[in-house]
Structure 1
Amino acid sequence: MKALVLAGGYGTRLRPLTHTGAKQLVPVANKPVLHYCIETLVDASITDIGVIVGDTAEEIRTALGDGSAFGAKITYIPQDEPLGLAHAVLVARDYLAEDDFVMYLGDNFIIGGIHDLVRDFEAERPDVGIMLARVEDPTVYGVADVAPDGQVLRLEEKPRDPASDLAVVGIYLFTPAVHEAVRSIDPSARGELEISDAIQWLLDEGRTVRSSMISNYWKDTGGITELLEANRAVLDLLEPSMDGDVDAESEIIGRVRIEPGAVVSRSRIVGPAVIGAGTEVTASYIGPSTSVAGNCVIDASEIEFSIVLESSSIRGVGRIESSVIGREAQVTRAENLPRSHRLVLGDHSKVQITP
């Protein structure tokens, strides 16, 4: 069995972070989401992996290489424009050949792996296997109408009036039957070839589509809230380590990982949390569910339930919560001004200010 990992797209819900980087490489617990994806596939004994790439192809190639670091073999497949998941299957036709394959959206995050899902698919071999999860707002997902035995009756992409609250998770299993389906459908109203339409085409042709409910943690990390939640979930499983420098005036509580070269002085860190290599934390509080990447500076500040990316600095700004701080960002206190907020924000930024 092969894998097809989708690592293109524009990442509009993560702007402005994704103006300068691939959404699949935004870190969770200081490791890119895409790395977790590749590791999950290798854990399921799938090592022949095709990666769909777009405008951020070079960044993706740099992050994954030839796959050998993960125990995999990676083939890169260019997609000129992100014209839908079914379009990705079309452009990967030569690579996929006549093999069964897993299609894995590179910004999806799952704890617990897909080993059992793959083995069940290989044993029963329906035409399609999908994973489902109950969600609060099914109108933003592909939604399944399912019989009691798990047979899928109908699929609809982002329906206004959903038939259920069962969203299709971004992990699919296909036999070669899907290739005829993706060639037979028309673009949707948003101009994309929808994989849900291709699966519905197979259903209309009398083919078998089986579903299974996801029993482990899953998140689509395409939005800030979801990214922070995934970060929290991974940190909850963190193995603590103390490889950096912590002075006697600092207090470390709970599951905390301090990576080599990090320096913590006169500070309090309450886990689960991770402090990246080369980062300096001085006279500060780092609260639960926070990951600080490498070569950052946190000075005289408090931060909790947040993600801080590489080489950023936060100095003297009081308390920060539920935030994602981009690479090489600088957050500082404004001096000698009336009480006000001074902001320099990129396109599509979102800021919440306490009155």
Structure 2
Amino acid sequence: MRIIVPMAGRGSRLRPHTLTIPKPLIPIAGKPIVQRLVEDIAGVLEEAVEEVAFIIKDDFGAEIEEKLLKVAKDLGAKGTIYYQDKPLGTGHAIMCAKDSLEGPCVVAYADTLFKADFNLDKTADSVIWVKQVKDPQAYGVVELNEAKEITGLVEKPQDFVSDLAVIGIYYFKDAGVLKKELQGVLDNNIIHGGEYQINDGIKAMMEKGMRFVPGKVDEWMDCGNKDVTVETNSRMLDFLHADGENLVSANITSENSEIIEPCYIGDGVVLKNATVGPNVSIGDGTHIENTTVKNSLIQTNAIVKNANLENAMIGNHATFNGQFTDVSIGDYSALK
């Protein structure tokens, strides 16, 4: 089994946090988004992952590439890096990894997280992960026949088609077939909105009689902008705490402070006269003093003093000293 992860976009809606690192490496409850994504996929598949292929921009840098390769290695898989030099759409991005498109594989976009408990139907030619939504007009949705098989994909339907939104994770029994159809999309210059789309390859597979079925997820969590990323962090902490995971490092210093679960607190964190939680993630080496913080995400080696924070997101090596609450401060910034 292979996992293909297109992630060449920087995540402009999550700036300033994505100015120094790509969005898929933003930590959620102590782990990068992309790591949680591939781990959760591997858990659903219930089989060994042979390779994880990451499709990135060539300017992400050696440090980012090393972190991605470690994500694959930690799963016991080979890590492969491919580059997408131009933002030409989902179909184009996937074809940048065409050398890895063979045999069974999962394609997953690295800007979403999910919780699911279902058996993957590996008799189908493809499984498309979906989530029931209240407003299907805002999403791409699947069209089903009476046998509950997927017969079409409709983007933001004005008339009701279904309430099952595509979340951007796909299983293909033979990725070589997807590669062939996407090559046809590229060769025939089939473009929508200036981009080559995966949907055109999927529709070509459907037209040839291949069987597509939905895989329903229980939770679908976005990481598109600061507010929804903080919300996703809170929801993930709730899930992990309910599962009994201990998310507070034993290697912290706490003086006259209170931790209200669920929280993730990394190694070397110093808490002094602080109330932390609920739903707070704090990265390694961060110092928090004379501060109350809840429903927030603070990354590594930050300094936060004299603050009352809620719905906040503070980057790596940032310094914040003040009485603001709903803040978004990028890496290496300082407000004193």
Where on the TM-score scale, by shorter chain, does this alignment land: which range?
0.7 to 0.9
Structure 1 regions of 5+ residues with no counterpart?
A: 241-253, 335-339, 347-355
Shift of the 345–162 alpha-carbon distance from structure 1 to 2, 3 Å rule, reads: farther
Name 1:94's counterpart in structure 2.
99
Q: Which residue number corresponds to residue 125 of structure 1?
A: 124
Residue equivalent to 2:270:
280
Equivalent residues in 2 for 1:269-348 (5 A)? 269-317=259-307, 319-333=308-322
| Residue of structure 1 aligned with 2:111, choices 107, 112, 116 | 107
Picking from 149, 152, 163, the partner of 1:151 is 149
Q: Once the 2 structures are TM-superposed, how far is the Cα of residue 18 of structure 1 from its aligned partner? A: 0.8
How many residue pairs were aligned?
318
Alignment of 1:61-100 (within 5 A): 61-65=65-69, 67-96=72-101, 98-100=102-104
- AA partner of residue 146 (structure 1): L
Alignment match, 1:351: none
More off after superposition, 50-59 vs 168-177: 50-59
Q: In structure 2, do the counterparts of structure 1 residues 237 and 213 end up closer, same or farther at CA, with 3 Å as the change threshold? A: closer
- The residue aligned with 2:334 is none
> Counterpart of 2:55 in structure 1: which amino acid?
I
1:233 corresponding residue in structure 2: 235
Q: 1:249-304, CA deviations, whole angstroms, 9 ceiling, x for partnerless residues?
A: xxxxx987432432111112211012221111111211211111111121111111
Q: Tell me the secondary structure at the aligned position of residue 38 of structure 2.
A: helix
TM-score normalised per structure 1: 0.80
> What amino acid sits opposite 1:145 in the alignment?
E
Distance 1:152 1:207 in 2: 10
Range moving further from structure 2, 204-213 or 70-79: 204-213
Q: Give 3-state SS (helix, strand or coil) of 2:66's partner.
A: helix
Q: Which structure is higher in RCO with an 8 Å CA cutoff and minimum separation 6? A: 2
Q: Is the 8 A contact 1:294 1:311 kept in 2?
A: yes
Judge conservation of contact 2:49–2:76 (CA < 8 Å) in 1: no
Which letter maps to 2:259?
A: I
Question: In the aligned structure 1, how far is the partner of 2:65 from the partner of 2:221?
Answer: 24
Residues 151 and 208, structure 1, Cα contact 8 Å, conserved in 2: yes
The alpha-carbon deviation at position 222 of structure 1 amounts to 2.6
Shift of 1:57: 5.0
2:226 to 194, 200, 224: 224
**TM-score after normalising by structure 2:** 0.84
Amino acid at match of 1:153: T
Aligned partners of 1:256 and 1:269 also within 8 Å? no
The residue type equivalent to 1:94 in the other structure is: D
The separation in 2 between residues aligned to 1:112 and 1:210, in whole angstroms, is 16
Superposition RMSD in Å: 2.8
Which structure is larger by alpha-carbon Rg, 1 or 2? 1
Specify the alignment match of 2:16 in structure 1. Answer: 16
Structure 2 letter corresponding to 1:58:
A
Aligned-pair distance for 1:162? 6.2
* Stretch moving more, 302-311 or 129-138: 129-138
1:114-164 CA distance string (max 9 Å, x none): 7x22xx22xx132x2201102344455322122242211221335566633
CA pair 100-257 structure 1, distance change in 2 beyond 3 A: closer
Equivalent residues of 2:285, 2:300 under 8 A apart: yes
1: CA distance between counterparts of 2:249 and 2:78? 29
Q: Using a 3 Å threshold, how does the CA distance of structure 1 residues 57 and 113 change in structure 2: closer, same or farther? A: farther
* Partners of 2:2 and 2:104 within 8 A in 1: yes
**What's the secondary structure of 1:99's corresponding residue?**
coil
Amino acid in the other structure paired with 1:325: I
Who is 2:249 aligned against? 259
How far apart are 1:177 and its partner, in Å? 2.0
2:3 touches 2:38 (CA, 8 Å); kept in 1?
Answer: no
Q: What's the secondary structure of 2:9's corresponding residue? A: coil
- Once the two structures are superposed, residues 65-89 of structure 1 have per-residue CA deviations (whole angstroms, 9 ceiling, x without a partner) of 3533331111111211232221122
Where do 1:178-189 residues align within 5 Å?
178-185=178-185, 186-189=189-192
- The residue identity in structure 2 corresponding to 1:24 is P
Unaligned 5+ segments in structure 2 are 331-336
Q: Quick one: distance in 2 between partners of 1:46 and 1:332?
A: 45
Percent identical: 29
Query: In the alignment, is residue 213 of structure 1 matched against residue 216 of structure 2?
Result: yes
Q: Specify the code of the residue in structure 2 equivalent to 1:231.
A: N
